[in-house]
């Protein structure tokens, strides 16, 4: 059995960056897929949304003290400088989001360059880890022995590109608590009462969604299976059960003057025609001049400002960008990323119970944890 000082499992965002930092050691990087960084390749619509101009603990679900500590150690500015120094200058798009100029391959190229010369074995799906005096890592192809083990295998979303629950299995085996995992940054499915939205597939509009104490502004997209788009994906991070409320007219106010209009509802309201037609049908109100609405009809129409309903569920791990929940962070030393349960065992990235919003926050997290690693 080959012996190493350190084995890193997972050649994704955090695993590649962490391995690069320790490339001078007797280190092995194990990857289950035939190629490294498959998730990075498809991220951000193929351009990889690396980070965001504005990053704070408020953009994350997780223990604020733990998250803040790690993000402060390697900020978005540090990350941008890190890539710029290596010849990649991310560009701002969609307001505050940083993307690769051309494609995610540019970022993958930089990360792979960092691990040049390191033993990288692909097609090695880790199935088990045991420990006596050293860790024994068992893959579908063999066994490897190591003094230190870094688990950087991410979450369970997008299983078709190799995602697995191995981080949680290893963590549990060594005594860690796993906070309930669930798909997040994912579209939501509808109950029967909201099926009027189904034929609207393809329509996108700006909304404000309220769930619990969170108010999320952004675009919403009607999809074949339910509702999606940035505002809904972010909602899915905070929503677990119960109702959400959507303001379909965030820049419009229903006042007295509005109900004196001689024009038809669909002409006055700044909404896509197909949308307003389907909505009016669902509340059984005809598309007529606003001044002709009864008080009851006015009330029904004003639901557009606070349309409240309970989503049936979500599109699941096959469509989710991330896994919320994960390894409890109070059992990880934030100064080193080492397990407080098992000497020499480290966890990075998405596998931890920290999840970012849409907008580059999850790569920022993965890279920040890789920089915090102290072997
Ligand atoms: C479609 C999509 C788009 C996304 N877009 C963005 C975006 O633009 N911006 C953003 O910030 N975040 C985005 N994300 C989320 C982001 O990709 C992840 O949060 C991030 O990659 C997590 O980094 P990580 O290092 O923890 O894990 P990953 O990058 O997922 O890397 C884990 C690696 O471990 C390997 N692995 C898993 N199981 C095993 C095993 N048993 N044995 C061996 N190897 C294994 C995997 O194959 C993978 O290579 C997106 C996610 C998806 C699915």
Query: What does the pLDDT average to over 58-66?
Result: 98
| Same domain (yes/no): 11, 68 | yes
> What does the angle CA 240 – CA 242 – CA 246 come to, to the nearest 5 degrees?
95
Q: 226 in a domain, yes or no?
A: yes
Q: 319 in a domain, yes or no?
A: no
What is the share, in percent, of the chain residues with pLDDT greater than 90? Answer: 98
| Same domain (yes/no): 169, 199 | no
pLDDT at 230: 97
Q: 134 in a domain, yes or no?
A: yes
What is the spatial distance between Cα 86 and Cα 115, in angstroms, rounded to a whole number?
A: 13
Write the pLDDT tens digit of every residue in 93-152.
Answer: 989 999 999 999 999 999 999 999 999 999 999 999 999 999 999 999 999 999 999 999
| Same domain (yes/no): 178, 197 | no
Question: For a substitution probing ligand 1, which of 154, 170, 355, 356 has the most ligand atoms within 8 Å of its CB?
Answer: 154
pLDDT at 241 over 90: no
| Same domain (yes/no): 123, 258 | no
pLDDT at 42 over 90: yes
| Same domain (yes/no): 233, 304 | yes
Helices 13-21, 104-114: inter-axial angle, 10-degree rounding: 30
- Overall number of domains in the chain: 2
Write the pLDDT tens digit of every residue in 283-310.
Answer: 999 999 999 999 999 999 999 999 999 9
pLDDT at 228 over 90: yes
210 CB near ligand 1 (under 6 Å): no
pLDDT at 148: 98
User: Which of 314, 338, 362 corresponds to the end of one domain?
Assistant: 314
- β-pair type (2-9, 27-30): parallel
| Same domain (yes/no): 108, 218 | no
What is the spatial distance between Cα 169 and Cα 182, in angstroms, rounded to a whole number?
A: 15
Question: For a substitution probing ligand 1, which of 120, 153, 348 has the most ligand atoms within 8 Å of its CB?
Answer: 153
User: Which of 314, 339, 360 corresponds to the end of one domain?
Assistant: 314
User: Which of 265, 289, 314 corresponds to the end of one domain?
Assistant: 314
Q: 58 in a domain, yes or no?
A: yes
pLDDT at 318 over 90: yes
What is the spatial distance between Cα 18 and Cα 373, in angstroms, rounded to a whole number?
A: 7
122: left (phi over 0), alpha (psi -120 to 50) or beta: beta
43 CB near ligand 1 (under 6 Å): yes
Secondary element (H or E) of residue 314: strand 313-314
157 CB near ligand 1 (under 6 Å): yes
| Same domain (yes/no): 93, 11 | yes
Q: 149 in a domain, yes or no?
A: yes
Number of CB atoms found within 10 A of residue 85's CB:
9
Q: 99 in a domain, yes or no?
A: yes
- DSSP symbols for 251-268: T----TGGGG--SBHHHH
Which residue lies with its CA nearest to atom 18 of ligand 1?
A: 362
| Same domain (yes/no): 132, 53 | yes
pLDDT at 121: 98
Query: What does the pLDDT average to over 324-353?
Result: 98
Which residue lies with its CA nearest to atom 52 of ligand 1?
A: 321
| In the chain, alpha helices (H) | 13-21, 38-42, 64-73, 76-85, 104-114, 166-173, 230-238, 265-268, 273-282, 295-301, 361-372
Write the pLDDT tens digit of every residue in 163-209.
Answer: 999 999 999 999 999 999 999 999 999 999 999 999 999 999 999 99
> What does the angle CA 322 – CA 326 – CA 330 come to, to the nearest 5 degrees?
135
Q: What is the CATH number of the domain that holds 153?
A: 3.50.50.60
Q: 321 in a domain, yes or no?
A: no
Question: For a substitution probing ligand 1, which of 321, 353, 359, 367 has the most ligand atoms within 8 Å of its CB?
Answer: 321
Give the confidence band of 215 by pLDDT, cuts at 50, 70, 90: very high
Taking alpha carbons only, the member of 350, 285, 329, 262 closest to residue 43 is 350
Q: Structure pTM?
A: 0.96
Query: What does the pLDDT average to over 3-8?
Result: 98
3-state helix, strand, coil in the chain (%, to 5): 35, 30, 35
Q: What is the CATH number of the domain that holds 256?
A: 2.40.30.10
| Same domain (yes/no): 34, 176 | yes
Taking alpha carbons only, the member of 188, 189, 194, 216 closest to residue 61 is 216
- Ligand 1 midpoint to CA 40 (Å): 6
Ligand 1 atom closest to residue 349's alpha carbon, by position in its atom list? 26
Give the confidence band of 212 by pLDDT, cuts at 50, 70, 90: confident
Taking alpha carbons only, the member of 256, 202, 233 closest to residue 355 is 233
What is the spatial distance between Cα 28 and Cα 45, in angstroms, rounded to a whole number?
A: 30
Q: Which two tokens stand for residue 180?
A: 């309930």
44 CB near ligand 1 (under 6 Å): yes
Mean pLDDT for the chain overall? 97
| Same domain (yes/no): 220, 366 | no
Q: 101 in a domain, yes or no?
A: yes
Domain that holds residue 204: 188-314
Q: Which two tokens stand for residue 332?
A: 């990880």
| Same domain (yes/no): 336, 360 | yes
Query: Is the CB of residue 286 less than 8 Å from the CB of residue 277?
Result: no
pLDDT at 240: 84
| Same domain (yes/no): 334, 208 | no
């Amino acid at each position: 059995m080959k012996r190493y000082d350190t084995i890193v499992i997972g050649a994704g965002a955090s695993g590649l960056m962490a391995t690069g930092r320790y490339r001078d050691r007797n280190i092995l990087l194990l990857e289950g897929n035939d190629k490294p960084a498959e998730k990075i390749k498809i991220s951000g619509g193929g351009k990889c949304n690396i980070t965001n101009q504005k990053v704070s603990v408020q953009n994350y679900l997780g223990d604020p003290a733990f998250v803040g500590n790690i993000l402060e150690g390697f900020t978005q500015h540090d990350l941008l400088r890190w890539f710029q120094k290596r010849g990649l200058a991310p560009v701002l798009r969609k307001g505050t989001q940083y993307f690769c100029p051309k494609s995610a391959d540019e970022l993958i190229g930089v990360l792979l360059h960092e691990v040049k010369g390191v033993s990288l074995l692909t097609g090695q799906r880790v199935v088990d880890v045991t420990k006596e005096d050293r860790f024994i890592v068992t893959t579908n192809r063999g066994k490897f022995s190591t003094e230190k083990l870094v688990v950087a295998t991410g979450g369970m979303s997008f299983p078709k590109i190799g995602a697995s629950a191995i981080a949680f299995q290893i963590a549990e085996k060594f005594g860690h608590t796993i906070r309930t995992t669930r798909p997040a940054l994912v579209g939501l499915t509808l109950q029967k009462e909201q099926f009027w939205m189904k034929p609207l597939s393809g329509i996108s509009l700006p909304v404000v969604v309220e769930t619990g104490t969170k108010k999320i502004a952004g675009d919403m997209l009607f999809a074949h299976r339910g509702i999606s788009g940035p505002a809904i994906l972010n909602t899915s991070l905070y929503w677990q059960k119960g109702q959400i409320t959507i303001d379909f007219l965030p820049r419009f106010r229903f006042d007295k003057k509005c109900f004196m209009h001689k024009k038809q509802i669909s002409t006055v309201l700044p909404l896509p025609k197909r949308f307003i037609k389907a909505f009016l049908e669902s509340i059984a109100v005809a598309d007529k001049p606003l001044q002709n609405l009864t008080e009851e009809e006015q009330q029904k129409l004003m639901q557009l400002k606070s349309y409240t309903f309970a989503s049936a569920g979500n599109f699941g791990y096959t469509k989710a960008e991330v896994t919320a929940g994960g390894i409890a962070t109070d059992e990880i030393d934030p100064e080193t990323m080492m397990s407080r349960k098992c000497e020499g065992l480290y966890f990075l990235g998405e596998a931890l119970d920290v999840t970012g919003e849409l907008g580059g926050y999850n790569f920022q997290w993965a890279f920040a944890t890789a920089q915090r690693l102290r072997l």
